[in-house]
Structure 1
């Protein structure tokens, strides 16, 4: 029986998305294989552990654990995860320690390398990307800078810090207009799930978009608008990653925003996408190059544009993509022959595999 800690919630604007992910994963887990321990991080950053789960959770409100849970210190994660009764025994508790943690966290303070760093220090195996890949993948500016160095084709972009914008907003707006033009997209550099993103068609909407994006981050990125198709591919593995089929996003609104993703479902998903074999092979090749350029492990969803001229452009990667059964990443693998529950088990295996590989590293000289 594998003792699996599910880490979810988080001090992030994507808190609610994480709760939905946790609910879906819990439902899919085989409780004859896994002993599941919920660990909830509140919106203010408090860590709360709950009792071992005995079955699926029918309401995400029950995952908040604020009343029945017990506050714990993240630093004592592995010693406090089990019941007080267990700890009260004078027996050796080494067998009661958690085997692997699955961080179901989206956005800052969870998907950005912070929690991964904590788990590394505690030497606890965990699912998904490590510190470097998580941090670089979360910060869209750093990610695109790395991809530029790696020679990966992508849309043009510029970025700004809040302090620079506050000193001279006019120069920032003019720079965007000269370097990118309209339409363009303004995004917080360190956030996902389309939170704080705006499509701009003129100076007025650009100024408003800057203000909104800076509410969520001190750094923002502005990207040129690409007239083309939005496609995504799922990558799975460690040193030898594999790719799924490609899926296409067809937003019925102006673009694929938070509301379309999580609230009204007003988006068409075509899986597999109607693309040529040559386009698939190029997307697959660049997805693996992108995965390896960030030193990723476990999972990544790679997002691309295919322009009307047939050019494939990298948009971004997501190191902890949406992970409900109706999210693109699991749906792409389902179409590729890997069911949701099997995908979860594979990710746990990959997390343990990477941890065991790291134990071979010598730390003395």
Structure 2
């Protein structure tokens, strides 16, 4: 039986291009260890540029010729042509977590790992996701959203009510375009900066809370939610640099200490409820705040969580009894057959 060809897409046009490169190496390692697939790597675009072309990655890791994925489900270039049976869109941010890639793959009937286009777009946009949480009665932090800078009075009223707020570009990942605002005279500048990254801006109450994460995923036909892991960030703001800088002082714990069974089960319940209601598929990392007063707030959903050496998603999944290699093997096997 000949091996199936798996296209591993990575990179993208967003601010998380470099992180996607690291995640792709971990996923490639697992795919090769399964031993059933030929892995074809394609990098989208270039870091910090508007380049959105597809580039074949050579065996030595160097960037090769420009290629396209056509309607015949073939990856083709000037001197390359290969049928594709499955796609792993290892892209953090656009055009992966925003649903563009998935829309095209659905159009040409090519199976892929991860959420569909609508679930991806809903989850990536911080405004629409919070509107969904409210509709589902899943607790989240009080917020306002702005469609332009003229909506700034709404942000000022929220600040007056709560004393400090987070300003977030609605459609960015890894804390890009996010600002802590402790003084009212800093609010306007934060709003203008956030609008540079997104057409919509979220302003939400800042809470003093533990940052907890849950791996929520499908395995052997069932949705699983791990026990919460924890992010311990000494700067109190889990910025892009804190997440990925090798000199970061942030630490992680695969199992968050000191949580009661009741809190754990309530949090896992919210995670599974969101996974089902938003029609997520295969995998997600669902993040929460847990305050000293015992309040639980769903913070955000990551539809293609990082798979770098320091990423929590595969660690929490493995602690839950499901190694990443078995998870990805189970999903692809069922989707390809």
- The question of a shared fold, defined as TM-score above 0.5 by the shorter chain, is answered with yes
Check if 1:317 corresponds to 2:294: no
- Higher-strand-fraction structure: 2
Aligned to 1:122: 108
Shift of 1:33: 2.0
Counterpart of 2:89 (choices 95, 103, 113) is 103
User: What is the alpha-carbon root mean square deviation over aligned residues?
Assistant: 2.2
CA 1:210–1:74: 2 relative to 1, 3 Å: farther
1:193 to 159, 170, 174: 174
Q: 2:256 aligns with which of 251, 273, 291?
A: 273
Question: Which piece of structure 1 moves more, 117-126 or 210-219?
Answer: 210-219
Secondary structure of 1:102 counterpart:
strand
How far 1:225 moved relative to its partner?
A: 0.9
CA distance in 1, matches of 2:283, 2:294: 27
Output one character per residue of 1:36-79: Cα deviation in whole Å (capped at 9) or x when no partner.
Answer: 0011110411112234x5xxx7xxxx46x1xxx22223445722
Contact 1:330 1:343 in 2 (8 A): no
Partner Cα distance (2:97, 2:69) in 1: 16
Q: Does the 8 Å CA contact 1:81/1:98 hold for their aligned counterparts? A: no
Task: Name the SS for the 1:29 alignment partner.
Answer: helix
Is the alpha carbon distance of 1:178 and 1:110 closer, same or farther for their aligned partners in structure 2, counting shifts above 3 Å? same
1:220 is displaced (CA, Å) by 1.1
Q: Does 1:207 align with 2:210?
A: no
Q: Is the 8 A contact 1:15 1:106 kept in 2?
A: yes
> Residue 319 and residue 126 in structure 1: after superposition, are their counterparts in 2 closer, same or farther (change >3 A)?
same
Structure 2 residue runs of 5 or longer lacking an equivalent are none
Offset, 1:172: 4.4
Question: Structure 2 length normalisation: TM-score?
Answer: 0.90
**CA distance 1:268–1:80, change in 2 (3 Å):** closer
Which runs of no fewer than 5 residues in structure 1 stay unpaired? 88-95, 357-365
Report what 2:75 is aligned to.
Answer: 80
Q: Which is higher, the Rg of structure 1 or of structure 2? A: 1
2:267 alignment counterpart: 283
2:236 is matched with: 254
Partner of 1:92: none
1:361 matched residue in structure 2: none
Q: TM-score, normalised by structure 1?
A: 0.83
Equivalenced residues, count? 327
Instruction: Give the match for residue 147 of structure 1.
Output: 133
SS of 1:232's equivalent?
A: strand
Deviation, structure 1 residue 229? 1.4
Aligned ranges 1:286-297 → 2 under 5 Å: 286-297=270-281
Moved more, 235-244 or 152-161: 235-244
Following superposition of structure 1 onto structure 2, how do residues 1-365 of structure 1 map, counting pairs within 5 Å?
1-30=3-32, 32-43=35-46, 44-51=51-58, 53=59, 62=61, 65=63, 69-76=64-71, 78-81=73-76, 84=79, 87=81, 97-161=83-147, 164-165=148-149, 167=150, 169=152, 171-179=153-161, 181-237=162-218, 240-263=222-245, 264-274=247-257, 275-349=259-333, 352=335
